[in-house]
Amino acid sequence: MCAKKTPRRGKSKARSNARSNDRPSDRPNALWGGRFGAGPAAIMEKINASIDFDKKLAIQDIAASIAHCEMLATRGIISRKDGDAIVSGLGKIAKEIQHGTFVFKHELEDIHMNVESRLTEIIGDAAGCLHTARSRNDQVATDFRLWVRDVLDQVEDALTGLQAALIARAEEHAATVMPGFTHLQTAQPVTFGHHMLAYVEMLGRDRGRVADARARLNESPLGAAALAGTSFPIDRRMTARALGFDRPMVNSLDAVSDRDFALEFLSAAAISAVHLSRLADEIVLWCSDAFGFVTLPDSFSTGSSIMPQKRNPDAAELIRAKSGRVAGALMGLLSALKGLPLAYSKDMQEDKEPVFEAADIWLLSLDAMTGMIGDLTVNAGAMREAAGRGHATATDLADWLVRVLDMPFRRAHQVTGLLVKLADEKGCGLADLSLTAMQSVEPRMTADVFKVLDVEKSVASRKSLGGTAPVNVRRAVAAARKTYL
């Protein structure tokens, strides 16, 4: 019952290139050669082939083919005998791929034809029935969605693992004081635990984007065929269920021609990579002699070929750099798709490499960052010392003037600025000024002001929702565990 087609024959008008390796072969392409009298030029075969990268889709391609075959047999479009032979042969091919014994052939262009060719070797002509009622257009769209869905599940697990590492450090350092910065200038004291939890929240939103992307891509293109659907009585809901999709895509043109799911994947990856890059950059700063806030273990550091004293945070630096490649992948695919008319164009073959590369970078960066966060040593003394520099409690002083002396904040800001200037002139911190010196600026000052100039008391006072007070951090740790882990 396998549908058969009689190919039309025609003459090729392809011209031979002057270079010998660019001349057409006399062997037509096995897939579409009925229309052509000669094979493609060598350079055409090279630029047209995608097997070097789309072999990543092998397992997904086999899964989709099995689902399609079972549907064809169930619907009586092909015989059950042929269907069973096809499924058995595809199972053997899957094992060959998993064991690394499958031979990928460049001349067969892509993963689809490599699998079909091997299937023909195993079961004979019945293999030709598999492509009934489908096209490589809906086939690759289905494979690609399955692959991206699988990677999103891996990313979800990796993001959760990094959150767990950050939450553990936040609990450990709920009361460890460090300087908080704006413009990379000392601003106000915070705790290291509070700082870690900021990234937990960023990663939580990353996970939200992953979940959203997964939900939107989870529709099946299979059965849309080349662009217009098929005249065979297929059951697209059956194949969608078999592959774990929520439903079939409702428009055949949209099903084969859009790659917004790949763009959404890259967008989520790029945003997450920026979050990782920011944390990586902070680790680079914190490891430097100028900061000395943390120390990376040997397992995440490298040395210098000429300077024996060096200890370089290369893992963090590489995460920071690789984020640019993820952003570039997004921009590259946006550019490739922006001018394409419906439905399929060969330009869309270029959709996979940026996604594959971004996925590898994203997962690698998450794993490396999780390792660094879990293993770094926090130098609490250096953080505490730095938190006391740069008049970090100046805002606490201004707040005290408002609260105790009933001073308008703008006036309190001005008075505090004058006191900071006075401390700079004397070469000391605000807490080191005498009460007499303070009263020279504001006569109503009392000794009570010194209670707010201590960095531990400063962070302890920040109890507003989302604030850095250790009691808040400990509550936030418990909430984060409940929400994210």
Q: What share of the chain is helix, strand, coil (3-state, %, to 5)?
A: 65, 5, 30
Which residue pairs, CB below 8 angstroms and at least 24 apart, start in 97-106? 97/58, 97/59, 97/62, 98/59, 102/58, 104/51, 104/55, 105/51, 106/45, 106/49, 106/51, 106/52
Strand partners, 24: 41
Is residue 68 annotated as a catalytic residue, yes or no?
no
The residues near 477 (Cβ < 8 Å, ≥ 6 apart) are: 167, 170, 171, 174, 193, 197
Structure token digits, residue 405: 């002396």
Q: Which of 369, 371, 354 is CA-nearest to residue 203?
A: 369
Q: How far apart are CA 137 and CA 144, in angstroms?
A: 11
Q: Which of 252, 293, 275, 469 is CA-nearest to residue 381?
A: 293
CB 384 within 8 A of CB 305: no
Number of neighbours of residue 364 by Cβ within 10 angstroms: 14
Q: How far apart are CA 31 and CA 114, in angstroms?
A: 11
Q: How far apart are CA 162 and CA 169, in angstroms?
A: 11
Q: Which of 304, 335, 345, 434 is catalytic?
A: 304
CB 367 within 8 A of CB 360: no
Is residue 304 annotated as a catalytic residue, yes or no?
yes
CA dihedral defined by 225, 95, 238, 229, rounded to 10 degrees? 0
The residues near 350 (Cβ < 8 Å, ≥ 6 apart) are: 333, 336
Q: Which of 362, 142, 112, 179 is CA-nearest to residue 259?
A: 142
ω before 394 within 30° of 0 (cis)? no
Q: Which of 360, 372, 349 is CA-nearest to residue 259?
A: 349
Helices 136-172 and 470-484 cross at an angle (nearest 10°) of 150
Q: Which of 99, 183, 231, 464 is catalytic?
A: 183
CB 294 within 8 A of CB 386: no
CB 140 within 8 A of CB 218: no
Q: How far apart are CA 261 and CA 267, in angstroms?
A: 10
Catalytic residues: 183, 304
